[in-house]
A and B are shown apart, each in its own frame.
Chain A
Amino acid sequence: MTMLADNISLHLSGFDLLRNISLEVQAGKVTAIVGPNGAGKSSLLKVLTGEMAPTKGEVRLNHRLLDEWPLLEKAQMLGVLPQHTMLNFPFTANEVVGLGRIPHQTGLVKDRQIVSDALDLVDGSYLQKRFYTQMSGGEKQRVQLARVLAQIWQPSAIGEQFLVLDEPTSAFDLSHQKLTLDIVRQLAEKGVGVVMVLHDLNLAARCADNLVVFDGGVIAAQGTPEEVLTERLIDKVFGVKSIIAQHPVTKRPLVIT
């Protein structure tokens, strides 16, 4: 089962944001998307999640066209964490994470347990009763992460589950960056297909099964981090001279600039 973008193009206000993109996100695998600002990474996520309709091409979730899925069933399979969430009402962390249970009918007791476990997982137990509006940027981002985790906490009977994360670590310190990657790997092992936009090439290299490099609305390269990350590609896409080494412990590629 997959989330599949088939020959997608997106034109908006006279600009070609995406051109002939084909991408397969497999359940149980982590797909990381990297690329310079404005390369079309977030646009692709919007098309993949049904927020924007592609000008050309189609998106399928578990073999069915994305917009043919009933909204509620789609929400039980697909969790989406946007780059920014503008929430300026004083919900507590418990209440925000609880919103992730809206698509499910599992009952109050079960939901409460899931909310508490999800907050625990993102190192946010101490936030439970704190107001979202009074949290730091990193705390807010962790609470939002817990919300989408709560949304796909249990396997769905309808189909394989997917999680879409747009720069999930942008406000995180070192330890929470690592925590996020650990969570993502755990989810993949449980069978969830994860696709995320990252800016840090080394974070991407460490956790991705499939690394996709975007440049100017097209895919410049995709494959395993070892295949994709070359000095030539990084120079071509980012315009930065670098050396590719190997991480002494993880044996993954390490980009040194």
Chain B
Amino acid sequence: MRRIAAPSLIFGLIILLPLAAMVSLTLGTVDISLADGLNAIVGNSSSAQINTILFDIRLPRILLAISVGAVLASTGAVMQGLFRNPLADPSLIGVSSGASVGASLMIVTTGGFIQVGALMGLSLVALGAFLGGFAATLLVYRLATSNIGTSVTTMLLAGIAIGALAGALNSLLSYFSDNDMLRQISLWQMGNLSGASWAKVSIMGVVAVLLLVSFPRESKALNALLLGESEARHLGIDVQRVKRRLIVLTALGVGVSVALAGLVGFVGLIIPHMVRLVIGPDHRWLIPASALAGATLLVIADSLARIVVIPAELPTGILTALLGAPFFVALLLQQRKDV
């Protein structure tokens, strides 16, 4: 397949993302025209109701979609590079399955009252998900690390083992749940941005900025790692340090986004893969372009989630897969034709 120059793609996405965000502001159960929306944002508000909808509901939700999308897609790009496998995704290091158990455990033990014990605007479920994800990653990392370093192959296998264990624990928890808890668990696992608040946005935003500032420093190392670990070492890369840093950042990023938005699938696996098909595997471009594309996809998916079944809403995770999968299939077909 012929490549597109990376700067052109990034330029296009930089234009597309704010456009998508602006359109998204207008969409939802209550229609707000673009003009009203923009007026409210610059301070010339027309009504209190519009203000509330825009500032307390839609704007935080869009910002959450942007930061979650950017984090999931960029960590996906980083994991695919680290594992030298274009089909790797952030869940490989156990973070998603661990988070899932943490969330289910909280739902079951707190009897399903999500808001009980809220801390800084965050629910116990979010806290459980974050702790579960972090603990699982730590376990996978420890299992794969010996005195000669961390083996990514062992990590892959340990991730599968921990994932299976987490799956079993999850089923066990579901088995002991009542109908209401079951519904909460399965809704959580579909991924949802509807609970967005400014507290969540600020936490997610800080994490997203931290990741997007840290990752580019490792892009040359990731490029070298695609050749192999010993080859990267011969190019002067401190492979163990790079691995540790990237895994910690990924666990943090994915842990927090799963805690705040549930399991939004597809973005971390397919976005970097798609971007790579278009601009090539150079991480200096791949990481920022994936972040932008992930953010854009999640904003669009979340907008649609709000309007397809008005006045109800679909979980965002369903839409990301519904939107992304056909696009990905089209790219694959295109690639097959060109070879």
B122 in the interface (beta carbon within 8 A): no
- CB of B148 to closest CB in A, whole Å: 9
Q: Are B234 and A79 in contact (CB under 8 A)?
A: yes
Q: Are A85 and B235 in contact (CB under 8 A)?
A: no
B234–A90 touching, CB < 8 Å:
no
Q: A71-B238, A76-B236, A99-B224 are in contact. Are A92 and B280 (CB under 8 A)?
A: yes
Contacts of A88 in B (CB 8 A): 84, 86
In contact, A95 and B234 (Cβ under 8 angstroms):
no
**Complex contact A71–B237 (CB within 8 A):** yes
B223 beta carbon closer than 8 Å to chain A: yes
| B238–A89 touching, CB < 8 Å | no
Contact of A102 with B233 in the complex, beta carbons under 8 Å: no
Contact B223 A71 (CB under 8 A): no
- Per the 8 Å Cβ criterion, residues 58-96 of A in contact with B are 71-76, 78-80, 82, 85-92, 95-96
Contact of A85 among B86, B227, B233 (CB under 8 A): B227
Is A89 within 8 A of B276, CB to CB? yes
Q: Residue A51 at the B interface, CB < 8 A?
A: yes
Cβ B231 vs Cβ A103 within 8 A:
no
Closest-CB distance, A161 to chain B (whole angstroms): 13
A68, chain B: closest CB distance, angstroms: 15
Chain A residues numbered 96-123 whose CB sits less than 8 Å from any CB in chain B: 96, 99-100, 102-103
Q: Point out the residues of chain A lying under 8 angstroms from B36, CB to CB.
A: none
For the complex formed, measure the closest distance between the CB of B163 and the CB atoms of chain A, giving whole angstroms: 24
Docked-complex contact B230 and A90, CB < 8 angstroms: no
CB-based contact B228/A86 at 8 Å: yes
Which residue in B84, B86, B223, B280 is a CB contact (below 8 Å) of A86? Answer: B84
Q: How far is the CB of A238 from chain B (nearest CB, A)?
A: 29
- Residue A49, interface by CB 8 Å: yes
Partner of B235, one of A73, A75, A87, A92: A75
Q: Shortest distance in angstroms between B210's beta carbon and chain A's nearest beta carbon?
A: 25
The interface residues of chain B lying within 8 Å CB-to-CB of A31 are: none
Closest CB-CB distance, B117 to chain A, in whole Å?
46
- Contact code string A140-165 (vs B, CB < 8 Å = 1, else 0): 00000000000100000000000000
- Report, as a range, how many residues of chain B touch the other chain: 20 to 34
Q: A49 vs B233: C-alpha distance in the bound complex, in angstroms?
A: 10
B282: Cβ under 8 A from any A Cβ: yes
Whether A82 and B231, one on each chain, are in contact in the complex, defined by CB atoms closer than 8 angstroms, is yes
Closest partner residue, chain A, to B229 (CB atom): A51
Contacting residue for A91 out of B226, B231, B236, CB 8 A: B226
Q: With a CB–CB cut-off of 8 A, which chain A residues contact B276?
A: 89-90
Q: Give a binary string over B253-285; 1 marks a CB under 8 Å from any A CB, 0 the rest.
A: 000000000000000000000001000111000
Q: Which of A199-227 contact B (CB under 8 A)?
A: none
Residue interface bits B208-232, CB-to-A below 8 A is 1, else 0: 0000000000001001101110110
Interface residues of B in 300-339 (CB under 8 A from A): 339
Given contacts A82-B228, A82-B230, A89 and B281 within 8 Å (CB-CB) = yes
B20 smallest CB distance to A (angstroms) = 29
Report the nearest A residue to B226, measured CB to CB: A89
Chain B contacts for A73, CB-based, 8 A:
236
Residues of chain B within 8 A of A96, CB atoms compared? 227
Q: In whole angstroms, what is the CA distance A50 to B236 when docked? A: 12
Q: Which residues of A contact B228 (CB under 8 A)?
A: 82, 85-87
CB contacts (< 8 Å) of B282 on chain A: these are 91, 95
**Cα distance A71–B282 when bound, in Å?**
23
Pair B280/A90 contact, Cβ less than 8 Å: yes
- B-side contacts of A89, CB under 8 Å: 84, 86, 226, 276, 281
CA distance A102 to B226 in the complex (A): 13
Task: Give, as a whole number of angstroms, the nearest-CB distance from B70 to chain A.
Answer: 22
Q: How far is the CB of B230 from the nearest CB of chain A, in Å?
A: 5
Query: Do the beta carbons of A51 and B230 come within 8 Å of each other?
Result: yes
Q: Which residues of B contact A151 (CB under 8 A)?
A: 235
Whether B234 lies near A78 (C-beta < 8 A) is yes
Q: State in angstroms the CA–CA spacing of A183 and B85 once bound together.
A: 34
A76: nearest residue on chain B (CB-CB)?
A: B236
Given pairs A71-B233, A75-B234, A102-B224, 17 additional interface contacts (CB within 8 A): A51-B230, A71-B236, A71-B237, A72-B236, A78-B234, A80-B231, A82-B230, A82-B231, A86-B228, A90-B276, A90-B280, A92-B280, A99-B235, A100-B235, A102-B223, A102-B237, A151-B235
10 contacts between A and B (CB under 8 A): A51-B233, A72-B236, A75-B234, A75-B236, A82-B228, A87-B228, A89-B281, A99-B227, A102-B235, A103-B236
Instruction: In the A-B complex, list the 4 residue pairs whose CB atoms are closest, starting with the nearest.
Output: A75-B236, A103-B236, A89-B281, A72-B236
